Amino acid sequence: MKKILLFYQERCPFCKRAFAYLEELKEENSLYSNIEIESIDELNNPEYADKFDYYYVPTFYIGEEKVHEGGIKKEELRDILDKSLK
């Protein structure tokens, strides 16, 4: 299982939707609850966020690989969680 790094902004509607999808998916599949997800508010941690190559939030990394950037659908988030489990 690989850790997920999630960059977001608190007021971003796409980020809020991603967090809601995440909770739904955890309820649907208990394995997802075991995945370590480090959530970084880029506005509160700009010096850290600037070390990564992305423009839109939410942005997801698994290890060093950017796996998604920008608005997200529930199915896309499920794919990210499944990839983390491998």
Q: Which domains does the chain have, with CATH numbers?
A: 4-62+70-85 (3.40.30.10)
Q: Are 4 and 61 in contact (CB under 8 A)?
A: yes
Per-residue pLDDT reduced to its tens digit, 23-63: 999 999 999 999 999 999 999 999 999 999 999 999 999 99
Q: Token match 């060093």: residue? A: 64
- The string of pLDDT tens digits covering residues 6-31 is 999 999 999 999 999 999 999 999 99
Q: pTM for the complete prediction?
A: 0.94
Which H or E element spans position 63?
Answer: none
**70 phi/psi in degrees, rounded to 5:** 95, -170
